[in-house]
Amino acid sequence: MRTQIFIVALYLLIIHVSLWSQQADTALINASNAHALSILIDSPETARKICLKSLKESLKCDYLEGQGDALIRLGIICRNELNYSKSYLFLNQALSVRRQQKDVTRESTVLMNISINYFEENKYDSAIYVLNQAIQFLELQNKIDYSLLGGEYLLMSNILEEFSEDTESLRYAEKSIWALQQTSSKNDLNFAFYALANRYLQKKSLDTAFIYFNKAAENLENSPADLADIMTNKGIIYMIKGDFVQSAKCYQRAEEWLQQAGDEADYFHYYFNKSRLYFAQNQWAEGLQLLQKAIPPDWDELDCLDQVFLMTELADAYQHLEQYDSAYHY
């Protein structure tokens, strides 16, 4: 399962572009911050320079809105660089500004970003604590930003999944669906459907998982990497059901999507999960070949859990093939 797919999707949810002011200086600051947001991922250095300038100009005219927007973008840029200490510095400043504004929705946005930092650092207790504050702030509002609330529910679902709280993770995924259905954002809703499908798959509710994977795929024609991931998961469902023919067809379709995905293609999870289709049919040599393809050129490209899963599967495959030295190695 790809955790990062949810975090990328949340960029559209965690940043709110400010309303334009009638004053020329604040309008220019707003435009600069909006431009920085649009290039934040592809051109982070340019975005950083723009935000620092916007922050400076906002401080000059005591424009809190511009300060908060610039600071939160700077915090995200630093997080993307894995410079968490500097990211916290900017985000905590942004939190202070939002509290001066007495804007609970934007304060919730900052808290969500801080929670993402903790999540990426595997500090799950802190991530849950901060995100709970963000959610409670929104839930108590008379006029709720359902896009933001849905994103926060979705993030909580992912954190709880990593924390092995499957029941609670499923509950928050369902709440995310409900919140995002109050909006017109089909793209965000698709990612929520995907998360919910994963939760049901983990609970072995296969038919329900299949339904939500299909819902997630409805409007993803231009996202071949995501479609490949969905087809891989549908292959897993058919394998668990013992329908190896349909499972193989799903993996074939997933490979076709991966070939269109370019640099976004996730071949690790494709080969890793497809190998299990062969293992389920006692075709250990063929499955091992796929596992070996899953090994990246740089082992550190995989997170710790994926490394453990891959080594465990390799050891098991070598043991079944009576290659005990290799099994012992892994």
What are the sequence ranges of the domains in the chain? 17-102, 111-204, 220-330
Closest CA to 226 of 185, 183, 269, 184: 269
Q: Give whole-number Cα distances, 302 to 40, 133, 183, 297, 307, in Å.
A: 25, 31, 35, 10, 6
If you average pLDDT over residues 112-128, what whole number do you get? Answer: 93
> Which class in CATH covers the domain with range 220-330?
mainly alpha
If you average pLDDT over residues 195-212, what whole number do you get? Answer: 87
Residue 144's SS3 state is: coil
For residue 221, is pLDDT > 90? no
- Tokens describing residue 196: 């919910």
Please provide the average confidence, as pLDDT, over all residues in the chain: 87
Q: Please tell me the distance from the alpha carbon of residue 292 to that of residue 73, in angstroms, as a whole number.
A: 40
Q: What is residue 285's predicted lDDT score, i.e. its pLDDT?
A: 94
Q: What is residue 17's predicted lDDT score, i.e. its pLDDT?
A: 45
Res. 73 pLDDT band, cuts 50 70 90: very high
DSSP character for 205? Answer: -
Identical topology for domains 17-102 and 111-204: yes
Task: Give the Cβ contact number of residue 34 at 10 Å.
Answer: 16
Res. 8 pLDDT band, cuts 50 70 90: very low
Residue pair 302/263 in contact by the 8 Å Cβ criterion: no
Residue pair 15/109 in contact by the 8 Å Cβ criterion: yes
For residue 193, is pLDDT > 60? yes
- Tokens describing residue 276: 């299990």
Task: List helix spans (H) across the chain.
Answer: 4-9, 11-14, 24-38, 44-60, 64-80, 84-101, 104-120, 124-139, 146-162, 166-180, 186-202, 206-216, 224-241, 244-261, 267-279, 284-294, 304-320, 324-329
Q: Residue holding tokens 């891959």?
A: 310
- For domain 17-102, the question of CATH label 1.10.3210 is answered with no
Closest CA to 315 of 299, 301, 326: 326
Higher pLDDT, 324 or 245: 245
What's the pLDDT tens digit per position in 19-57? 434 454 888 999 999 999 899 888 999 999 999 999 999
Q: What is residue 87's predicted lDDT score, i.e. its pLDDT?
A: 96
If you average pLDDT over residues 259-284, what whole number do you get? Answer: 92
DSSP character for 184? Answer: S
Q: What is residue 23's predicted lDDT score, i.e. its pLDDT?
A: 53
Q: Count how many Cα atoms sit within 13 Å of the Cα of residue 19 in the half-sphere of its side chain.
A: 3
For residue 9, is pLDDT > 80? no
What's the pLDDT tens digit per position in 133-168? 999 999 988 889 998 999 999 899 989 988 777 788
> How long, in residues, is the chain?
330
Q: Please tell me the distance from the alpha carbon of residue 173 to that of residue 151, in angstroms, as a whole number.
A: 10
pTM: 0.72
- For domain 111-204, the question of CATH label 1.25.40.10 is answered with yes
For residue 310, is pLDDT > 70? yes
If you average pLDDT over residues 267-272, what whole number do you get? Answer: 93
Q: What is residue 188's predicted lDDT score, i.e. its pLDDT?
A: 78
